[in-house]
Chains A and B, each alone.
Chain A
Amino acid sequence: MAKKKIGRYKILGELGRGAMGIVYKAEDPNLDRLVALKTIILAEDSAGRAEYQKRFMMEAKAAGKLNHPSIVTTFDYGEHEGMAYLAMELLEGTDLRTRLQKESIPAAEAVAIARQVAEGLAYAHARGVVHRDIKPGNIMLNGGGQAKIMDFGLARMRMADHKTSTGMVLGTPRYMSPEQISGQPVDQRSDIFSLGIVLYEMLTGTRLFAGEDIHQVQHLITQTEHVPPTRQVPGLPPMVDFVVARALKKDPTVRYQDARELAADLATCAAELRSRDPSEPSGEGSRTVKLEALSEKAPDAPPAHMIAVDTKLPVSRLFDAAPALRRLKDASLGHMPRPVGLLRRLYRDAAVRQLFVAVVLAGTAGVVLALGRI
């Protein structure tokens, strides 16, 4: 062990390493409490360092005010031998990224995790703190099914720091919102988008925006629409499609405006999942599925304002369309409307026919009367 003590904290072991520094397991001798000590290497030049320190203190103070069951608590912060550190709540468990790499997550648990994260975000957003880097690696899961968000505020420091050094935006592009990856100002709705991606990946076990470089990822995030989760995992309740679709709206104004609203919808999803008969096929465990339906994914259904001449609308699976689709092979089916001529109108339009017949009869009668035949 290179260091025995950082500040007043006694280092017990290393928990992990990241882009910003090392995370240690440490002991606070004052309170006789175990903590996770996150170290952050400060910039080398004095001007940059002073700015960084100032920002670090501000972010640490803001994070320290967050006290919620779904947010990792920050106990203390300080500086020691050219590095800043944060003393945080030590959690026993694993992060979501590791869990996703190991195994698929049952739908009910995925929804429960997302709901807890949404509640934590709602709490932080209400206090003016935006996370900016919601991703599986920043969500800790303990053994009791509790999810906790880590690293509040650190993303902004990391991004700002990296911008000054390389002129690029660093972070986790795959989990960024369209406005964030485009370099526009972000607010709480950006965290909601990121959580939408995490939820999608938990539910489907697939990576949503996986590109080979940041340009591909940016294109995918800003341009492409996701395949609804129920098309990937048919046993999922339809409600999750709506929740995911709303969280992943490209336009922040039509996205969830509040993480509390998202949490409420996830609670409804959870209730729907709970209420399902265990004997029915669901998104978890083994099930028998129709291979034909799975192998061919139906295209996404766009909203009315996005429908153009070449926009394909999928045939609904709720209504049997097979007889009509067979009938479509008849080339003579349907035609553009033809103008209705006088003869056809006389033959088919009762009102015109009545008028015509009456006038002909009355005219004939008039002529007969005029000619003195009666």
Chain B
Amino acid sequence: MRAPLNLAEPDPRLYLGGDATLLSGADFNRFFFLFIGAQSLHAAAMGASVVASVVFLRIQDFARRPASEQARLRAQLEAVVAVTGAELEPAGRIVLEASDGAAIVLLRDPIGALRLAQRALTAAAAGLPLSAGINHGALQLSGRKGAEGMTGDGIAVAAAIAEFAAASRLLASRSFRNALADAAPGREVSLLPAGAFKDAGLRDHEVFSLDEKAVARRQLRYTLATAVLVVACVGGGIATRISADSDKPFASAVMDKYPYVRALVQRAGY
């Protein structure tokens, strides 16, 4: 029995017209979501549409490798996904197949998506040339039971970013960064701007790379700023009080009360 050819027409719900490709990734996500939302009644009948985080793990140069190596790398990737995805609830993740990688859809969990991508790259460091692209966007379930699949901008952008990323690198979209900020304000600072690129469909993508120390650096900056502001506020209050208690001008009053301040000013004058 011969396999039927895949001659199915493109789903009209997913057709956005030629101009859609000129939108930026974030705008496109919004437009796509609104478009799907507007037809939610029809979508509900045909398949569920959601917005979720997608981690696309891609094996670099997969097509150019010998088949024996492809099989080995594929098995390695499956092991990496199994290990890194073990901490996720089965109800919170869907693993999709791509010929040169895998896409993991995480429902309502951008923090988990980032952690999964990080862990996958760490786990794959030994011999598996993996890159990761993360996006937060619209997805739709289709297909009959037992042969389900997912389509949507969430996957397409994640795949494009993973294609762009170098080996062992993780890149995220603007939409994902916003989703991370929404889920855990402050965590988004770990994603630093890494430039922009145009994909094969001429869509512009602004990408962000992960800097795990960025959160700690920000915390330090905020602590220093807090200390400076506290000193300034308290110092300002004290200075105002001194100034109010004296007939002399503010600076003279302070220097009279604290002679070492005068000495300091004189030394600075030299």
Q: Is A232 within 8 A of B3, CB to CB?
A: yes
Q: Is A369 within 8 A of B240, CB to CB?
A: yes
Interface 1/0s, chain B 196-215, versus A by CB < 8 A? 00001100000000000000
Number of A-B contacts (CB under 8 A): 266
Q: Is B6 within 8 A of A303, CB to CB?
A: no
Chain B residue numbers with a CB within 8 Å of A20 are none
A298-B147, A315-B149, A359-B229 known; A242 vs B91 contact (CB < 8 Å): no
Q: Is B156 within 8 A of A311, CB to CB?
A: yes
Q: Is B90 within 8 A of A370, CB to CB?
A: no
A338 within 8 A of B: yes
Nearest CB of A to B73, in Å: 10
Q: Is A340 within 8 A of B147, CB to CB?
A: no
Q: Tell me the bound Cα distance from A20 to B148 in angstroms.
A: 50
B256 within 8 A of A: no
A15 within 8 A of B: no
Interface residues of B in 56-103 (CB under 8 A from A): 56, 58, 62-64, 66-68, 70-71, 74, 78, 81-82, 85, 89-103
Q: Which of A297, A335, A365, A369 has the most CB of B within 10 A?
A: A369
Q: Is A319 within 8 A of B99, CB to CB?
A: no
Q: Is B107 within 8 A of A327, CB to CB?
A: yes
A310-B14, A313-B155, A315-B148 known; A337 vs B175 contact (CB < 8 Å): yes
Q: Is B155 within 8 A of A336, CB to CB?
A: no
A333 within 8 A of B: yes
Interface 1/0s, chain A 198-211, versus B by CB < 8 A? 00000000110010
B51 within 8 A of A: yes
Chain B residue numbers with a CB within 8 Å of A314 are 96-97, 143, 147-149
Chain A residue numbers with a CB within 8 Å of B122 are none
Nearest CB of B to A247, in Å: 8
Q: Which of B29, B230, B233 has the most CB of A within 10 A?
A: B233
A312-B150, A321-B94 known; A366 vs B233 contact (CB < 8 Å): yes
Q: Is A337 within 8 A of B162, CB to CB?
A: no
Interface residues on A, range: 35 or more
Interface residues of B in 226-247 (CB under 8 A from A): 226, 229-238, 240-241, 244-245
Nearest CB of A to B141, in Å: 5
Interface 1/0s, chain B 15-49, versus A by CB < 8 A? 11000000000000110110000001000100010
Interface residues of A in 311-361 (CB under 8 A from B): 311-316, 318-329, 331, 333-340, 344-345, 348-352, 354-355, 358-359, 361
Chain B residue numbers with a CB within 8 Å of A368 are 237
Q: Tell me the bound Cα distance from A338 to B147 in angstroms.
A: 34
Q: Is B82 within 8 A of A319, CB to CB?
A: yes
A224-B5, A265-B66, A312-B150 known; A366 vs B91 contact (CB < 8 Å): no
Q: Is B94 within 8 A of A264, CB to CB?
A: no
A246 within 8 A of B: yes
Chain B residue numbers with a CB within 8 Å of A366 are 233-238, 240
A362 within 8 A of B: yes
Chain A residue numbers with a CB within 8 Å of B151 are 309-313
Q: Tell me the bound Cα distance from A246 to B100 in angstroms.
A: 12
Interface 1/0s, chain B 130-143, versus A by CB < 8 A? 00000010000111
Q: Is A324 within 8 A of B92, CB to CB?
A: yes
A307 within 8 A of B: yes
Nearest to B177 among chain A residues (CB) is A337
Contact of A309 among B16, B40, B94, B230 (CB under 8 A): B16
Q: Tell me the bound Cα distance from A321 to B93 in angstroms.
A: 7
Q: Tell me the bound Cα distance from A331 to B51 in angstroms.
A: 10
Q: Is A358 within 8 A of B226, CB to CB?
A: yes
A368-B237, A370-B240 known; A311 vs B3 contact (CB < 8 Å): no
Q: Tell me the bound Cα distance from A277 to B43 in angstroms.
A: 46
B249 within 8 A of A: no
Q: Tell me the bound Cα distance from A304 to B175 in angstroms.
A: 19
B152 within 8 A of A: yes
A296 within 8 A of B: yes
Nearest to B88 among chain A residues (CB) is A324
B50 within 8 A of A: yes
Nearest CB of A to B98, in Å: 5
Nearest CB of B to A217, in Å: 12
Nearest CB of A to B263, in Å: 24
7 tightest A-B CB contacts, nearest first: A366-B237, A369-B237, A362-B233, A370-B240, A337-B178, A323-B91, A366-B233
* Given A227-B3, A319-B85, A327-B92, 14 additional A-B pairs, CB 8 A: A206-B3, A231-B3, A232-B3, A242-B67, A242-B74, A254-B63, A265-B66, A299-B149, A304-B101, A304-B163, A312-B149, A315-B96, A336-B175, A366-B237
Question: What would be 28 A-B contacts, judged by CB atoms less than 8 Å apart?
Answer: A206-B2, A231-B3, A242-B68, A268-B71, A292-B146, A299-B6, A301-B98, A309-B32, A310-B11, A310-B14, A311-B151, A313-B149, A314-B97, A316-B97, A321-B94, A328-B48, A331-B48, A335-B51, A337-B175, A340-B185, A351-B186, A355-B225, A355-B226, A362-B234, A365-B234, A365-B237, A371-B241, A372-B244
Query: Which chain A residues have a beta carbon within 8 Å of chain B's beta carbons?
Result: 206-207, 210, 220, 224, 226-227, 231-232, 238-239, 242-243, 245-246, 249, 254, 261, 264-265, 268, 292-293, 296-305, 307-316, 318-329, 331, 333-340, 344-345, 348-352, 354-355, 358-359, 361-363, 365-372
